[in-house]
Amino acid sequence: MVHTPVEPPPSDNNVMQRSKKSGYHNQKRELLRISRSIETDHLSKPNLKSDIQPSNVSVIPSLPKDIKESKSIPLLGKPELNSTPISSSKQWLPNENAEDPFLILSKDEYHEHHSSIMQCRFNSQGTSIASCDKDGTVKVWKFEPSPVTIATVISRSPFLSVDWHKTASDLLILGTSQGVIKLFDTSSKLDQFDTIIPGNCPRITQLACHPNGATFATSCVSNLGYEGLRLNNSSPSNPGRVQIWNINESQITLESSILECNDRHIECLAYSENGICLATGDTNGLLTVLDTRTYKVILSREAHKGPIYTVQFSKDEKFVLTLGADGKFCAWNLASPIEPINLPIHALAGGPFEVTGFGGYKQVQQPGGGKLFTFEPNGSHVLTCDGTSAVIYDVNLSNASMSKVLTLVGHRSPVLSLEWTSSSKCGYCLTGSMDGRLLVTTLLNKLS
C-alpha cells in the first residue's frame, strides 16, 4: 500500500507572530519576577543552575571549550555593516568574558519612526521614552509591558532636540529648526507653553535641563548653509550661542546668553549631576566648562581635532569626558586639566556611520546630536556605539583603562544615539539606529 503524504495546513503568519510575541512577554515577566526575588547576597555570586530553573524558561547552555568546534551552537560574532544582522527578538546571548556583570533579560523593539533616530531620552523615572527622528517627528512611548506609543508630537517647523524635565517626569522640552521652544505635557497630551528664540540663530540643536528643573540650556545655530534639516555646505563655522532659560509655572523666560560664537557652534551640552557645572563641546573641538552659579569659564581646552559630538561628566564629577570626530575618547581631570586621559576605544566610535548594499549603494551619515556614549547610572560602565551594535565597557579612570564586557546586538543599521537608566536591580539600555528602529535592552546586574 502506498501512503500518500498529508499536506500540512497553511501557516497563519499573524497567529504565529502573536503566539511568539506572547511567549516572549511571558518569558520576560517570568525572568523579571525571578530577578526581583533574588537576594542581594546571592547576586554577588550568581548561580544560574540553582536560582533560575522554571520549567518555561530556557537556561543558558554550557558552552564547549572550543566554541568554534561545536556544530550545535552558532558562532555569534560582531555583525558587519553590510551583513545580515542577528534577529532583534528576545534571546540569550553569550558573554564577552567570564566576568561579565550583566545578564540580558529581554529586548523590546519600537519601530514607529520612518527615518534616522537623532536623539532619544528616558524620563527621570525611566518609564517613558521620547525619541526624535531626522524628519523632525517626536514620539513619546513606553516599553513595558510591550512598546506602545503615548503621543506623536509634530510642528510646522521640524523638531531637532528633546529633553525631559528632571523633576516633572511628564513634562517634555522640545526645540525646532525655527527657534520655537515647546513645553509638552505627555500625560494630558497638550502643549503647555511655546516661545520663540530671538536673533539670527534659530536652530535649537541641543537641550539640557538642569538637575533641579528650574532652568535649561539651549544650543542655537544659524540657518546659514541649511536647507530644511540638512547642511548643504560642510563648513562647521556657522555662528551659534548658548542660552539659559527659566521654567516658572510652565512658562519659559530667557535668563541670559552665556556663550556667543561667531565662527563655530556648540555640538553638545551636559550638566554635572549636582548642577554646578555645565560642559559644552563645539565644532572646532573646544571643550568649555562653566560654573552655573556665575557662568564664568573654569576650563577651556582644545580637546579634539574636529567637532566634539558628546560630552558628559563622570559620576564623581571629578572628570569630564569627550568623544570627538577624530575618534578619541578623552577624560579631563577638573582639578588638574593639563593633559587628558586618552581612553582606549574601538574605531569609528565617533562616526561617520555608513550603510552599504548591493550595486554599490552607500549611505553615510554624520552624528546628529544624539549621545554617542552614556554612563551607567552608577558610573562604572559606559555604553558606546559600534556599527550595528552597542558595546558596554568597564571604565576605571584612576588607571586610564577600559575593558569590553558585553556587546548588545539586534539592529540592522548603525546605532546613532544611546541612553541608559535603571530601576530596582535592572538597567535599561536604549539604542536608536539609522533605519528608525529603537531597542530597549533589559539588563540584570549580577554584582549589584
Q: How far is CA 21 from CA 12, 191, 230, in A?
A: 14, 35, 38
Q: What is the pLDDT of residues 52-78, one digit of tens each?
A: 344 443 433 444 444 334 333 333 333
pLDDT given at position 287: 96
pLDDT given at position 338: 77
pLDDT tops 60 at residue 4: no
| Comparison of pLDDT for 348 and 61, the residue scoring more | 348
Q: What is the pLDDT of residues 36-54, one digit of tens each?
A: 554 444 444 444 344 434 4
pLDDT tops 80 at residue 16: no
- The class that CATH gives domain 102-227+235-445 is mainly beta
Break the chain down into helix, strand, coil percent, rounded to 5.
Answer: 10, 45, 45
Cis peptide bond upstream of 352, omega within 30: yes
Q: What is the distance of C-alpha 174 from the center of its chain?
A: 17
At 114, list the grid cell. 520612518
- DSSP assignment letter at 359: G
Please state whether the predicted TM-score (pTM) of the whole model is above 0.85: no
Q: How far is CA 381 from CA 77, 78, 108, 139, 296, in A?
A: 22, 20, 22, 28, 31
pLDDT given at position 336: 82
96-110, 227-241, 313-327: range with lowest mean pLDDT:
227-241
| Backbone torsions φ then ψ of 59, nearest 5 degrees | -90, 145
- DSSP assignment letter at 335: S
